[in-house]
Amino acid sequence: MLKLTDQNIGGYERVVRATDSTTGLDACISIHNTQLGSAIGGCRYMEYKDFDDQRYDALRLSKQMTYKNALAGLHNGGGKTTINSRAGAKSVDLWKSFAEALEKLGGAYYTAGDIGTTTEDLLEIHNHTQYVLGYDGIDSGYATAYGVYNSMCGAFKFYTNLKKEIRGNQDLLIKRSVGIIGLGKVGKRLTKFLVDTQPGITIYTYDLNKDLYLELSDFIKNSKSTKHDIRVQWCDSIEELNQLPVDIYAPCAIGGTVTADFANTCRAKIICGGANNQLENRDISQILLERGIHYVPDYLANSGGVIQVRSSYNMSHDITTSLDISWDNPLVKDRLENLVLRTYEILEQSQAQNKPTNIVAKEIVENKLKDL
């Protein structure tokens, strides 16, 4: 039998633990803020050592989703679900009981995909509730990568003192260098966007799976971009790539790669990537500021995925229907390209106020919510 237990957490609208001893469900659903609209955030299915660990993850991620959705210009707040896989294996009954929990929240929170949840899982949830997005197999990797690409271009325009009103990114990074950690669905597509639009660029890459680099190299060799003197090079380790004097460093895999040691030795001018939680801790942003390294907050740079997912559904309390919209549909693409200006403005304010960019972004969102 499904049981919802409210957790009293200051600064959060509602946090509940949803358990069902019959199905093995043990979920923490965190709704951080709904001032802009129903909360959106993925459902993470993975192993946690205990509920405190699980709740901490949900709280941290749901708050980040509030900032991400607000900076992206979406009329949605932030939420997140974490399900402890130790409590119960995936099954039709587990997803049904989770869907029942969403129903009891009455549309205050819409779930979506995240680590450990597949399209098939989301579709099963959708069989029992309307409060789920991403169930039709939308690949948000292109949108996320294009968002990172546009954020990069905004940061580079600021770094080179180009006027923010100048439109277009073609040839902006000509003969420049980018280091990309991670060649998954975001990193490899980011590489392709750079290769297609930036003649003479050099891209240094690393991934735990070198086959992804070899596949990418084959694609580039067979593309029309080879005539533009493009170089995509492999590094044997993260440490090797981290030592390179690249113009832009792009973490697109796991979080926490920007450590204090790296921040103090980093030779890049800009850090902008698709990974979540890139900074090992918040204090690192101050180190980057003092060293003159322009850090684009990760929840801004990687907001392309949620922009596409949100744009691809008609959400209401009666029904949620898919609109079958791809990343390059003007409804989505225009918002992704707006990240150029948004990134530029945050870096501009950071410099004017002598504050780290993540603090500036946080204050923008909090002031936006305060004015509602």
Which two tokens mark 320? 């949620």
Which two tokens mark 366? 């909090």
Whole-angstrom CA distances from 193 to 143, 190, 235 are 11, 5, 20
Exposure string for 314-351, b = 16+ CB within 10 A, e = fewer: ebeeeebeeeebebeeeebbebbbbbbebbbebbebbe
Cα–Cα distance for residue pair 46/310, rounded to 1 Å: 24
Cα–Cα distance for residue pair 87/22, rounded to 1 Å: 11
The question of whether 157 is a catalytic residue gets the answer no
Whole-angstrom CA distances from 22 to 3, 17, 200 are 11, 15, 59
Beta carbons of 250 and 226 less than 8 angstroms apart: no
The greatest distance separating any two alpha carbons of the chain, rounded to the nearest whole angstrom, comes to: 63
**First vs last Cα of the chain: how many Å apart?**
39
CA quadruple 198, 199, 200, 203: dihedral, nearest 10: 40
Helix (H, G, I), strand (E, B) or coil at 364: helix
Beta carbons of 332 and 326 less than 8 angstroms apart: yes
**215-221 contact pairs (CB < 8 A, 24+):** 215/188, 216/183, 216/188, 216/191, 216/192, 219/192, 220/192, 220/195
Active-site pick, 63, 68, 80, 333: 80
Is 85 exposed, middle or buried, given 0-12, 13-18 or 19+ CB atoms closer than 10 A? middle
Q: How many residues does the chain have?
A: 372
Cα–Cα distance for residue pair 100/107, rounded to 1 Å: 12
Active site residues: 80
